[in-house]
Structure 1
């Protein structure tokens, strides 16, 4: 594992102006050979915005609520990460080749970098967004424990990079979904054109709660080697709620962030809950 450790914590690389993890940038070339299928479903998110939660919901829907089937493999095998690449482990593209249809596919790529084949096939897309302050805090902790990222440095310096768009990249809205998860599960169910009994929806809501997923090795990424994700630094699933940013942002940082956000998001109709 020493060779793997030596290969991690590399600087980000820019592709079409988008900062990417070095190995993910290298994966874009081979992705030109990826061929989407009409029944693929793409889960498109900015990191730390509820991706794993929605992935588990969709897999449980696809498996008709059968929890044993959802324990067949870790979430990153059941829902391949399209642009994933890292030393010594299968890439997202390699995992996809062994994934039976209908496939669930995860990506953090912005539209400019999404393989054209997904657009040509007009696959269904579930887009997940979250309030930016909680994303920033969650991402900072993730940078510390997930070693494919560069070293994040101090919180203050990381926040500046995040605001400048120098952290790696971005419908259901995760924070509001936490208030009424069954409503959001029903929306997703209808979107994918499926139906399930009411008691199955209750079962899915129970087993996709943050508390259940945090202790489930098939969703909490604890099966990955420590060289990639060090859960002793910070758990992959840390808080799962809106408003945690208040424990990290200073008053000055909050004011600066609000001003910057208002400027960059002017004209955007999306609204987010920053606390529950």
Structure 2
């Protein structure tokens, strides 16, 4: 892995960091043999992936904190496309999976599963789509240097994992499928318990008092930030150096307002409408 830190892989026209991906691992993800009982969490990077992984962990364990306290999140909900997932297909059911891949890369593999939605049992493949409007520019300090010029261009400069707009539009294109549920980072901030109830209903799981309490206690930003299985302290500093910035930053919604000037905000709103206005999506940019 260390030898690939400077490597970039290009797949489906999108750049991916080479220390996590190879052409073989990316291709394997597109041919992944999904099962009807799979739960697939789809996110754009820095969109609250870790938060939703924790929530799904506690739902799966029925509120038992042991898995979240003893197993790293990347082992509990592994990424389909990462190079270390060679035995993922052998994992026993039900499998909780994560991906940052765009919809076109997985469309064929998902279609082969031909899921039938029966919420009273596990005969389904569940796809959870999680967006964060603040993730359009995941590193504000770097983005702001080129933001005025970037928002004037026909397309934003290439970044790892591709355009947030294209990622969102791709997964929104299949929103009529009944086995897909959409959540936003802002929604979880506004009503965590309500989102957990909606998620459990979608998965066909009853919300017991101990589960609700466990999510409130262990899925708070403060708790996750102190949990070594979540906060990336187990990741070698060559990959994630805490002295250069925290992986878990603030855990708030609407932080973009602290970095965007009024003119830049207006220009971004215009760009947003150009890209996603036809989708009819109304994302919450901040808490009221």
- TM-score exceeds 0.5: yes
In structure 2, what is the Cα distance between the partners aligned to 1:179 and 1:33? 37
Q: Describe the SS at the equivalent of 2:244.
A: coil
Structure 1 residues 165 and 84, CA gap change in structure 2 (3 angstroms): farther
Cα offset, 1:203, TM superposition = 2.0
Give the match's secondary structure for 1:94. coil
Cα distance between partner residues in 2 of 1:165 and 1:222: 31
C-alpha displacement of 1:251 = 3.3
- Work out the number of aligned pairs and report it: 253
- Aligned CA RMSD, in angstroms, stands at 2.5
Which residue, 166, 169, 175 being the options, matches 2:158? 166
In structure 2, the CA distance between the partners of 1:25 and 1:115, relative to structure 1 (3 Å rule), is farther
Larger deviation: 154-163 or 69-78? 154-163
Change (3 A) 1:246 1:95: farther
CA distance, structure 2, for counterparts of residue 157 and residue 18 of structure 1: 20
Q: Summarize deviations over 1:65-110 as a string: whole Å, max 9, x none.
A: 100132231000110011123xxxxx2x325246332111101111
* Equivalent in the alignment of 2:56: 58
Say whether residues 1:101 and 2:93 are aligned partners.
Answer: yes
Other structure's SS at 2:277 match? coil
The 1:40/1:96 distance shift into structure 2, 3 A limit, reads same
Kindly indicate whether residue 253 of structure 2 is the aligned counterpart of residue 250 of structure 1.
no
Partner of 2:14: 18
248-257 or 188-197, which moves further after superposition?
248-257
Question: Superposition pairs for residues 29-178 of structure 1, below 5 Å?
Answer: 29-31=27-29, 34-85=32-83, 91=84, 93-94=85-86, 96-97=88-89, 99-114=91-106, 116-121=108-113, 122=115, 123-131=125-133, 134-137=134-137, 139-140=138-139, 155-157=144-146, 160=150, 164=156, 166-167=158-159, 168-169=161-162, 170=167, 171-178=182-189
Distance in 2 between residues matched to 1:249 and 1:25, nearest whole Å = 35
Measured in 2, the distance between the counterparts of 1:203 and 1:119 equals 35
SS in 1 for 2:55: helix
For residues 39 and 200 of structure 1, do their structure 2 counterparts lie closer, same or farther at Cα, with a shift above 3 Å needed?
same
> Which whole-Å CA distance do the structure 2 matches of 1:173 and 1:31 have between them?
24
Do residues 193 (structure 1) and 191 (structure 2) align? no
1:252 counterpart SS class: helix
Residue aligned with 2:127, SS: strand
Q: Within 1, Cα distance between the matches of 2:200 and 2:285?
A: 26
Cα contact 2:44–2:100 (8 A) shared by 1:
yes
Structure 1 CA distance, aligned partners of 2:263 and 2:87? 44
Q: Deviations over 1:140-193 (max 9, x none)?
A: 16xx9xxxxxxxx56323783996262224311111211210111111111111
Q: Secondary structure at the match of 1:128?
A: strand
| Aligned-partner Cα distance in 1 for 2:272–2:87 | 37
Task: Spell out structure 1 runs of 4+ moving beyond 4 A.
Answer: none
* Structure 2 unaligned residues grouped into runs of 5+: 116-124, 168-181
Unaligned runs of 5+ in 1: 86-90, 145-152
Name the stretch that deviates more: 102-111 or 191-200.
191-200
Q: TM-score, normalised by structure 2?
A: 0.79
